[in-house]
Amino acid sequence: MTHRGLRASWIVLTAVVVGFVASLMGCAAIGPVTQVTVSDLKSVTGTWKGIVYQSGVEPDYVTMTIQEDGSFNVVSAQRGGSSSARGKIVVRDGRLHFEGAQGGRGVATLSRNPAGDLVMNVDGTLSDNSTLTAKLYPSR
């Protein structure tokens, strides 16, 4: 390799390293995600909107309404129409535990992203043993 080629390689390598370090510093400046302990159902009562992810299925936009008594209703807006599910939520160990009327179960944790937005992260298993995850945000 010539002296000129070696110098060009060092310039490219330096640029990549500087860019990588700058991106890491940018992430650190944004701040961490903070876990939020759920103390009671009133703190999550209301309407939540977001996306459900299920393996082998297109992501699905949903609206979930949680009542003060722990009952919930989820409505999805799929291309072929809408569907809904309902069930009950209880607070246990600072997390939300879901039980669907059709036998599905799930657990949700709350967190605050660096911008201060509340996020509900759901992991669930449906009655057919398929799994799902969801990210939901309070509706304003």
State the DSSP string of the chain: --HHHHHHHHHHHHHHHHHHHHHHHHHHHH---EEE----GGGT-EEEEEEEEETTEEEEEEEEEE-TTSEEEEEEEETTEEEEEEEEEEEETTEEEEEETTS-EEEEEEEE-TT--EEEEEEEE-TTS-EEEEEEEE--
Global pTM?
A: 0.75
Beta bridge partners of 121: 109, 135
Contact 53, 32 (CB under 8 A): no
What are the pLDDT digits (tens) for 89-134?
999 999 999 999 999 999 999 999 998 999 999 999 999 999 999 9
Q: What's 35-138's CATH class? A: mainly beta
Contact 46, 39 (CB under 8 A): no
Share of the chain above pLDDT 70, in %: 79
Please give the single-letter amino acid code of residue 115. Answer: A
What are the pLDDT digits (tens) for 28-84?
446 788 999 999 999 999 999 999 999 888 899 999 999 999 999 999 977 777 889
